[in-house]
Structure 1
Amino acid sequence: MFFYDSRPAKFSSDTWFTADRKIDYRARLDHPLQKIHQRASSVSQQKIVNIHGLGAETAVLQRLEQFQPPTPIVHWYAGPLNLIDRYLAVGAYFTFGVELLYGKKIEKILAAIPQDRLLTETDNPGAYKHFAHQPGTPGLIQQVTAKMARRRQLSEVKMEAIIEQNFIQIIASNPTLIRCWQAAQDEN
């Protein structure tokens, strides 16, 4: 398992967000990038983190329990249902994307997540291409939200409001982010 990011690694305390942190189960535990992951984890204690941990769900959870970032976002969780309560206990939010349109397991995961921890994502263009063999577009988020609403027996408007409220809850802890959000809302 190792930590990697496609962008240059910068772990300063000046930023508010630690971008999509990936844990890859295929590498050795003694890989030199483990040190980078440990540094990112310690800096992330004060940041919003977005983590993709496919195949390393237990290891990711152990890191979250150890470092306790204030707002972990679990990107495209497809792991065991029996870990979800522990993820929720560390304050994790869960994103749902186009796999929800195709996978029964993801529907079960959606059912296990409380409404106040739901988010959406596009993961474009690659995720949709994986399932539908064509590039994804941002418009797919509407299909994802509609499916979430149907599975929760809610209207799409209600589901959108829940997701927006969850997003606002995440950014509310950061004054810079909340100002940016308010400015964007004022422009609309």
Structure 2
Amino acid sequence: MSIKCMISDKIKYIDFHCHCDLLPGFESRSLRLDPEVAAVAVTTTPLAWPKNVEESQHISGMLPALGMHPQLISARYKDHDSFSKYVKDAFIVGEVGLDGSAAFKDSLDSQEEVLSKILKLSSASETTKILSIHSLKAESRVIKILNTEMNTASLTPIMHWFTGSLLQASKLLDLGAKFSFNHKMVKTKKGKSLLAHIPKESILIETDLPFTAKTYDSSFHKSLLEETTIELAISLGVSSDDFTADLLKNSKQLLGST
């Protein structure tokens, strides 16, 4: 069963990277999103996909994504074998990618092997359209693999919390990439530099909850997205109301829900 991304007319903000299955209330089925918020519910292992799909039927605005986090590949390498079982039903694939930071660089070869397989499967899938990509300290490797393994005609990579160089960002833009900004990124010099470098239509928003805050409730979630949107608009020198509307329009078009 293909999982479609249906966006309610009430939605004002779309969070392109949120770990809904790690938020308080998910396991007890009490988790709810704000009525004005939709969230791409990234996962860290494909084994979490069935539960996320099931819960998305009960949580309005939750958009399930099929993932295999690079930081888990060393400890849970065999999990990625389940990817092929579910990818035919996944409109969004994420969180996937590479992590070259000190704690995970020893597994980079295995990470590359897995990402290559995931990109081939996603490119072959008639359903998959969007990728949420982790690239910490491995940006050049990610770009190389995207160039060789990704079908750019059918897939759009969204760079989650990108911290690479502007030259790398340009190479990703050439591949049709979008960049998702969160409330922490917009306050940094590097984040502002990236924002000034990329086209407005390539900007999306995210929270990366629960890893970017010590608490969670639906109104707080919405406030983070609103804060990020306002900060982005200020940095770009545009009206926050106009930017909010443009951002939502671009987001809905990307999700195929206009």
- TM-score calculated relative to the size of structure 1: 0.79
- What root-mean-square deviation, in Å, do the aligned CA atoms of Structure 1 and Structure 2 show? 2.0
Q: Distance in 2 between matches of 1:90 and 1:96?
A: 18
Q: Is the 8 A contact 2:98 2:142 kept in 1?
A: yes
Q: Distance in 1 between matches of 2:109 and 2:209?
A: 32
Q: Identical aligned pairs, as a percentage?
A: 26
Match in the other structure for 1:5? 44
Aligned mate of 2:159, from 74, 81, 101: 74
Q: Distance in 1 between matches of 2:185 and 2:134?
A: 16
Aligned mate of 1:38, from 116, 141, 145: 116
Aligned mate of 2:96, from 21, 31, 55: 21
Shift of 1:150: 0.2
Aligned mate of 2:225, from 141, 144, 150: 141
Q: Tell me the matched-pair count.
A: 165
Per-residue CA deviation, residues 52-108 of structure 1 (Å, 9 max, x unaligned), is: 111111111111111234211111111111111110110000000022343111000
Equivalent residue runs for 1:1-188 within 5 Å: 5-8=44-47, 9=80, 10-11=83-84, 12-25=87-100, 26-31=105-110, 33-45=111-123, 46=125, 47=128, 48-69=130-151, 70-127=155-212, 129=213, 134-135=214-215, 137-138=220-221, 139-172=223-256, 178=257
Note closer, same or farther for the CA distance 1:161–1:38 as it changes in structure 2 (3 Å cut). Answer: same
Q: Distance in 2 between matches of 1:34 and 1:22?
A: 8
Structure 1, unpaired ranges of 5+:
173-177, 183-188
Q: Distance in 2 between matches of 1:108 and 1:93?
A: 15
Q: Is the 8 A contact 1:121 1:141 kept in 2?
A: yes
Q: Which structure shows the higher helix fraction?
A: 1
Q: Distance in 1 between matches of 2:237 and 2:194?
A: 16
Note closer, same or farther for the CA distance 1:121–1:155 as it changes in structure 2 (3 Å cut). Answer: same
Q: Is the 8 A contact 2:132 2:159 kept in 1?
A: yes
- TM-score calculated relative to the size of structure 2: 0.59
Q: Is the 8 A contact 1:51 1:73 kept in 2?
A: yes
Q: Distance in 2 between matches of 1:20 and 1:30?
A: 18
Greater relative contact order structure (CA < 8 Å, 6+ sep): 2
Shift of 1:7: 4.2
